[in-house]
Amino acid sequence: MTDHTLKAFDEDIGELRALIAEMGGLAEAAIDGALAALSRRDNSLAAQVVGADKAIDELESVLEKKVVEIIALRAPLANDLREIIAALKIVGVVERIGDYAKNIAKRVPLISHRTSHEPLSLLPAMGQIAREMVKDALDAFAARDANKALAVMERDRAVDDFYNSIFRTMVTFMMENPKTISESAHILFIAKNLERVGDHATNVAEMVYYAATGTHAPERERGPDLLAEKEA
Amino acid sequence: MTDTGKSAIKMAAHNVNVFYGEKQAIRNVSIDVGMDEVTAFIGPSGCGKSTFLRTLNRMNDTVASARVEGTITLDGEDIYSSAMDVVQLRARVGMVFQKPNPFPKSIYENVAYGPRIHGLASSKADMDVVVEQSLRRAGLWEEVKDRLNDSGTALSGGQQQRLCIGRAIAVQPEVILMDEPCSALDPIATAKIEELIHELRGKYAIVIVTHNMQQAARVSQRTAFFHLGTMVEYGVTSDIFTNPREERTKDYITGRYG
């Protein structure tokens, strides 16, 4: 990609990308922290993750201002315009990903007294995939790499499969032993939060694809839908 | 509008080449200009957009060394055929230039001149109606109705340009060509001309050459990008400005050209 004749425009876009990379890094760290706190039953780490979300929110507001400024001063067009709009939307999504990590961390103290719970051992693996999807989607944005974005979208199915499996297991647990309902509900919410992180990473990847190519990503095959199954 | 969303063709150029002496200024340009649309020509200086615009009403005839090849039709009729009356053609395909150029006569006379030589008004009363209608369509009537005998050159730049548009409208054209009509105007006068272009759309086929890409984006339904004498890309304006197909178009509109 050749540079703009007006170098200040390239500097603005460079600054925007750096800020998004920083914000994405914080969100990834929050997911890592929340998952580590969950595995190690570490309440103080969980509290740190909750506290760190403020920095993500602050970056969101800085980035929104930057995007408005670029639109006002540079009147971006074509691929520049698509990238700036994608950036604005991605910023909102990354903020939500941070919220999910915070929400997971908040639940850590509520289940930490229990020593073993089978689905609990699935959550780190599930979280790892979701976190890597976030990282790869943001890397794809930085590199304007449509193929990398497509690869992220394809991985969403794996996260959904984890969620469906955990959902079924937890429902069985709760039916067999109603005393586990409170904890099982928390674990279910954590799984749901990770599933949403995967969805949001997929959304980021879709925006990256559009920004890079100007066309929407091809429709993908969806996994089984729990709600649809129930209706059938 | 047809099913394809494209309006009926008013003018069509096919394989047009323009030479100034040995130098080729336009290479093999083919384009359809829609009846109910504003078509914008954009591109860097020297790309041929103004030269091409001038082929549409044979303004290049006035340049001794200029030679036009290919066919250009108005309602299917070849405008370069020997049967075409050039004076009549220029009444049907009017033109507004970069710098407002009113005649050094009264506001009234600036508008009345064309209808008079084309015999479009049979009496003073008829002419008064033509002048008022033309100035109303040009969005200038309210500002000048009490001083129609003042000199056209005494108006502000923006008013002069609207007077020139009124003058073009007065001879009942079918197509209006505008060659950077706002480049000598301030932003307020520019906005008034753009609003006028918007209002005139549908009554006349309009083709506008502009250096200001935001202006092309604001006023046109279709945009053609010219570069080095060729037409690189022609499409729906919103597509050109959000997702151009050609690399050269993208580089130009995003400010990466050269």
B187 touches chain A (CB under 8 A): no
Of B241, B253, B256, the CB nearest to A3: B256
Query: What pLDDT sits at residue B221?
Result: 96
For residue A77, the 8-state DSSP code is -
Query: What pLDDT sits at residue A219?
Result: 82
Answer yes or no: do B242 and A2 touch at CB < 8 A.
Answer: no
Query: What pLDDT sits at residue B170?
Result: 96
Type and span of the H or E element at B96? strand B93-96
Of B242, B253, B256, the CB nearest to A2: B256
B258 touches chain A (CB under 8 A): yes
For residue A51, what are its two tokens?
Answer: 């506290």
For residue B24, the 8-state DSSP code is E
A211, closest residue in chain B (CA to CA): B243
Answer yes or no: do B213 and A77 touch at CB < 8 A.
Answer: yes
Flag whether pLDDT at A230 surpasses 60: no
Flag whether pLDDT at A231 surpasses 70: no
Query: What pLDDT sits at residue B27?
Result: 97
Percent of chain B at pLDDT above 90? Answer: 91
Supply angle C-alpha B163, B217, B231, rounded to 5.
Answer: 95
Query: What pLDDT sits at residue A68?
Result: 95
Supply angle C-alpha B247, B207, B134, rounded to 5.
Answer: 155
Query: What pLDDT sits at residue A144?
Result: 92
Distance from CA of A3 to the nearest CA of B (A): 6
Query: What pLDDT sits at residue A114?
Result: 58
> Residue A15 corresponds to which amino acid?
E
Distance from CA of B258 to the nearest CA of A (A): 8
A83, closest residue in chain B (CA to CA): B242
Residues of B in contact with A9 (CB under 8 A): 255
Provide the mean pLDDT of chain B.
Answer: 93
The whole-number average pLDDT for the span B62-74 is 94
Query: What pLDDT sits at residue B257?
Result: 74
> Range with the lowest mean pLDDT among A81-85, A169-173, A188-192, B207-211?
A169-173
The span from the CA of B250 to the CA of B245, in Å, is 8
Q: Are B42 and B213 in contact (CB under 8 A)?
A: yes
> Range with the lowest mean pLDDT among A52-61, A96-105, B56-65, B104-113?
B56-65
The span from the CA of A65 to the CA of A55, in Å, is 16
pLDDT in tens, A22-54: 999 999 999 999 999 998 889 999 999 999 999
Query: What pLDDT sits at residue A152?
Result: 96
DSSP string, A181-204: HHHHHHHHHHHHHHHHHHHHHHHH
A112 — pLDDT class (breaks 50, 70, 90): low
Query: What pLDDT sits at residue B69?
Result: 96
The whole-number average pLDDT for the span B133-145 is 94
Query: What pLDDT sits at residue A226?
Result: 66
Flag whether pLDDT at A228 surpasses 80: no
pLDDT in tens, A126-136: 999 999 999 99
Of B251, B255, B258, the CB nearest to A9: B255
Buried b (16+ CB within 10 A) or exposed e, B207-225: bbbbebbebbbbbbbbbbb
User: 3-state class of B98 per DSSP?
Assistant: coil
- Please give the ipTM for the structure prediction: 0.76
Q: Are B39 and B221 in contact (CB under 8 A)?
A: yes
The model's pTM is: 0.84
pLDDT in tens, A215-227: 999 887 766 666 6
Answer yes or no: do A214 and B214 touch at CB < 8 A.
Answer: no
Residues of A in contact with B243 (CB under 8 A): 78, 82, 214-215
The span from the CA of A37 to the CA of A44, in Å, is 8
Type and span of the H or E element at B66? strand B66-74
Flag whether pLDDT at B2 surpasses 50: no
**Which residues 201-230 of A have a C-beta within 8 angstroms of B?**
214-215
B3 — pLDDT class (breaks 50, 70, 90): very low
For residue B46, what are its two tokens?
Answer: 């020297």
Query: What pLDDT sits at residue A223?
Result: 66
Distance from CA of A24 to the nearest CA of B (A): 27
- Helices marked H in B56-123 — which ranges? 86-92, 107-117
Q: Give the residue from A79, A80, A83, A85 with the most B CB atoms within 10 Å of its CB, the best one to mutate.
A: A79
A116 — pLDDT class (breaks 50, 70, 90): low
Answer yes or no: do A78 and B213 touch at CB < 8 A.
Answer: no
User: 3-state class of B76 per DSSP?
Assistant: coil
For residue B104, what are its two tokens?
Answer: 């050094």
B184 — pLDDT class (breaks 50, 70, 90): confident
Of B254, B257, B258, the CB nearest to A77: B254
The whole-number average pLDDT for the span B123-130 is 95
Of B214, B250, B257, the CB nearest to A78: B250
The whole-number average pLDDT for the span A77-95 is 95
Flag whether pLDDT at A113 surpasses 60: no
pLDDT in tens, A3-14: 898 888 999 999
End-to-end CA distance of chain A: 51
The whole-number average pLDDT for the span B169-174 is 95
B151 — pLDDT class (breaks 50, 70, 90): very high
Flag whether pLDDT at B1 surpasses 70: no
Main-chain phi, psi angles of A82, to 5 degrees: -60, -40
B250 touches chain A (CB under 8 A): yes
Answer yes or no: do A77 and B241 touch at CB < 8 A.
Answer: yes
Residues of A in contact with B187 (CB under 8 A): none
For residue A4, what are its two tokens?
Answer: 């703009």
Query: What pLDDT sits at residue A6?
Result: 87
Distance from CA of A144 to the nearest CA of B (A): 15
Query: What pLDDT sits at residue B5?
Result: 59
Answer yes or no: do B254 and A3 touch at CB < 8 A.
Answer: no
Residues of B in contact with A4 (CB under 8 A): 254-256
The whole-number average pLDDT for the span A107-123 is 76
Answer yes or no: do A75 and B214 touch at CB < 8 A.
Answer: yes
For residue B96, what are its two tokens?
Answer: 């507004």
Of B249, B250, B255, the CB nearest to A5: B255
pLDDT in tens, A154-209: 999 999 999 999 999 889 888 988 888 888 899 999 999 999 999 999 999 999 99
The whole-number average pLDDT for the span B197-215 is 94
